[in-house]
Structure 1
Amino acid sequence: MSTLKAAGMEPHTDFMFCCGAITEVLKFGPRQLHPEHKRVFLLIPGNPGLVGFYKTFMQELHTQLGHAYPVWAVSHAGHCAAPDCMDMVEDARAAAEDDVFGLNGQIEHKLAFIREHIPKGSSLVLVGHSIGCYIILEMMRRNPELKVLKAVMLFPTIERMAESPQGRRMTPLLCQMRYLAYLPVFLLSLLPDILKAALIKLVFSSITSLDHCILQPTVQLLRGDSAANSMYLGGQEMRMVLERDNTTIEKNLDKLIFYYGATDHWCPVKYFNDIRRDFPHGDFRLCEKGFRHAFVLDVGREVANMVAEWIYSSLRT
């Protein structure tokens, strides 16, 4: 029996429709929240937005916090593989009209999830990764009444995405040639899951400490629609994540913690230097440990330990 099962802390995975789109929620702690849950951790993922990528990170964060607080993650709309009993969307026409899989739709999706599933009296500790950080800033801008105790921004892609080194490489694929990528994804989706897993291990074979928790969500991603929705969101990110939202950052500076990578090609060190110059009293940290942008591949536990340390004192106020 695993240590997690033995401790009675096995996570729950729930599937639901939110804004009419299939949504996966990974939950460490209670499966339902009640008014007595005064502090709730909610993780907003990067892209691809499958919560399974963050399982190790969330497990360690929950443990470091003494299992005292719910730690939940909500997937991006349409990024998870729908269970056999559920479709990708409840109403295809409404989903298209609301552009629920686009960047604006994903922001509204997270706000709707909070309205529907987080008690009004609960304070949120938001943890964002990559585009999840942009989504968090937009959530705070659109709903200033949102009860955010802290927001931790991990490897934040909140500005000039298409101008970043990785953005320059990926923009043509995501914006002009996205449909060409659908064919290989479709062909991969036809493979048995065991072969998909073997290919994934081969691709990541250079990462000696690969977290094998990422295999199952990556297999999910290669089932077709999830990958297409992820690429669609990526194309919108390149077009829409332009100027940094200094107004929202200024209004919430005391709540925000930013963690930049020293070798991150999505948000280079120049972006770290620029934001630290513009907000000299903010909490901006530069990774000194060589962690990659996709930290969940191998250092989820280490990053969770840091996050717990950063926000521990805030939980006591």
Structure 2
Amino acid sequence: MSTESLLQDNSPAEWDSLEYHKSTGTDSQASQDYLIFFISGNPGLIYYYEPFLSKLQSLLSLSSFSPAHFQIYGHSYKGFEISPHVDSISEPAGLKQQIKHHEECLRGQVRKHQGEFPGKSLKVILVGHSVGSYVLLELIQRHKQMVQNDDEVDDFDLIGGILLFPTIAEISQSNLGRIARLILPLPGFVGAVGVIARFVTSVLSESALNRVVQLATRFPEYAAKTTTAFLKSSMGVKQALHLARDEMRMIKNEWDSELELGTILGKEGEFVHGNVVIRDANKGLQDRWVADHTRDNIIRAQKEQGQVRKEEYTTQSVIDDRGTRHDFCTTLDSSDYVAGEVKNWIDDIIMRHGQMMRRSSTFGKPPVGQPT
């Protein structure tokens, strides 16, 4: 049985990308267009997020901003392809390649919009989960540098960023990161696990493997099927381990100063507003992939924002006291809950951006990074 038969009952036409559209109001010509560009965690299969993104789509229809058109788009990381007609890469891709891959995907969606609606403005909000939050920050930095250097860039406004359980600094110091940094560098480890995975998936039928996955993980059907497809893909297991090893090596301290200054997503008048979701340490909730000191830095940054030049900062640290798992996308209840929160933050980002633009027009000049 092929991967196609495994997912055909409840998957979109393209299993390596998800795209949704939702409009509010009836005047499509006068509507403001928004692209919600989603970046997943590792393993980077976008289909884990199908319930989350489809729920977000339905909730955006309730947005108070009208007329507006919302496009939600997310794409799997390189090396995680499960569509039978997609040629996967021959060697696993590292974190830098994944950043470039998502930058190309983002600009591809922007160019597609420009081709379909020439002259119509597009506002972009980035949403990243886990290591996707690190990719998100890198995309912001690259876009910012291109604008500041007057390089040719696609015409869009980057107005917001949402980081869900972000692994953006010292991931190797987290509880699970400490284990990963010990075993992932072992010579031959990644290759050996890949060989074992291929052997197991060749012995078991897809239906049997899917049952084993469900029993072992207690995942709902969509997540179990995605995991089964991931295990049977030509590069998936090796790619996930290679990327995790790269995360341990690369995700160090480069964003620490940003955290301490409370400017992780920029100051008002620059590029973006945003929300950072972390666990509530006061209730004993610990994110096993986010180091405690990273969490504490984010909380301290939020406190500093309330004391120093509060009017300039628009980043908000959102404390999760519900006990939502880091891998929220593998349960339907958590997917629905996070979708509801993200919808509210999207509304807030749009509102704050509108206020910023009205203030800047009053003083006669646009914010830094916004087109004149």
Q: In the alignment, which of 183, 191, 200 is matched to residue 195 of structure 2?
A: 183
Moved more, 217-226 or 265-274: 265-274
Q: In the alignment, which of 247, 253, 264 is matched to residue 243 of structure 1?
A: 253
| Distance in 2, Cα, partners of 1:242 & 1:180 | 27
Look up the SS of the partner of 1:308 in the other structure.
Answer: helix
Q: Which runs of 4+ in 1 moved over 6 A?
A: 34-37
State the partner residue of 1:310.
345
Deviation at 1:170, TM superposition (A): 1.4
TM alignment of 1:135-150, pairs within 5 A: 135-144=135-144, 145=147, 147-150=157-160
Residues 171-227 of structure 1 deviation map (CA, whole Å, 9 limit, x = unaligned): 22322222231222112221221111101111123xxxx432212211111014111
| Distance in 2, Cα, partners of 1:196 & 1:59 | 27
Contact 2:44 2:80 in 1 (8 A): yes
| Distance in 2, Cα, partners of 1:86 & 1:271 | 38
When the two structures are aligned, how many residues end up with a matched partner? 284
State the partner residue of 1:195.
208
Contact 1:42 1:74 in 2 (8 A): no
| Distance in 1, Cα, partners of 2:32 & 2:183 | 44
For the pair 1:161 / 2:171, whether they are aligned, the reply is: yes
Moved more, 284-293 or 179-188: 179-188
| Distance in 1, Cα, partners of 2:185 & 2:13 | 33
Contact 1:264 1:293 in 2 (8 A): yes
State the partner residue of 2:224.
215
Letter in 1 for 2:338: V
State the partner residue of 1:110.
102
What's the TM-score once normalised by structure 2's chain length?
A: 0.70
State the partner residue of 1:252.
266
CA 226–35 in structure 1, closer or farther in 2 if over 3 Å, else same: farther
Deviation at 1:233, TM superposition (A): 0.7
CA 253–157 in structure 1, closer or farther in 2 if over 3 Å, else same: farther
State the partner residue of 1:20.
none
| Distance in 2, Cα, partners of 1:293 & 1:310 | 19
Deviation at 1:315, TM superposition (A): 2.9
Q: In the alignment, which of 323, 327, 334 is matched to residue 290 of structure 1?
A: 323
Letter in 2 for 1:276: I
Question: Identity, % of aligned pairs?
Answer: 22
Letter in 1 for 2:244: G
Moved more, 151-160 or 256-265: 256-265
Look up the SS of the partner of 2:14 in the other structure.
Answer: strand
State the partner residue of 1:66.
61
CA 14–257 in structure 1, closer or farther in 2 if over 3 Å, else same: same
Residues 87-115 of structure 1 deviation map (CA, whole Å, 9 limit, x = unaligned): 213xx5xxx6xxx7110000011111122
Letter in 1 for 2:220: D
Deviation at 1:267, TM superposition (A): 0.7
Residues 216-251 of structure 1 deviation map (CA, whole Å, 9 limit, x = unaligned): 211111014111111111110000000142359456
Q: In the alignment, which of 261, 267, 271 is matched to residue 294 of structure 2?
A: 271
TM alignment of 1:30-41, pairs within 5 A: 38-41=33-36
Contact 2:95 2:246 in 1 (8 A): yes
Deviation at 1:273, TM superposition (A): 1.6
Contact 1:200 1:218 in 2 (8 A): yes
| Distance in 2, Cα, partners of 1:193 & 1:11 | 16
Look up the SS of the partner of 1:265 in the other structure.
Answer: coil
Contact 1:257 1:284 in 2 (8 A): yes
For the pair 1:300 / 2:318, whether they are aligned, the reply is: no
- Consecutive unaligned residues of structure 1, counting only runs of 5 or more, are 1-9, 16-23
Look up the SS of the partner of 2:197 in the other structure.
Answer: helix
Deviation at 1:86, TM superposition (A): 3.2
| Distance in 1, Cα, partners of 2:205 & 2:167 | 34
| Distance in 1, Cα, partners of 2:98 & 2:178 | 23
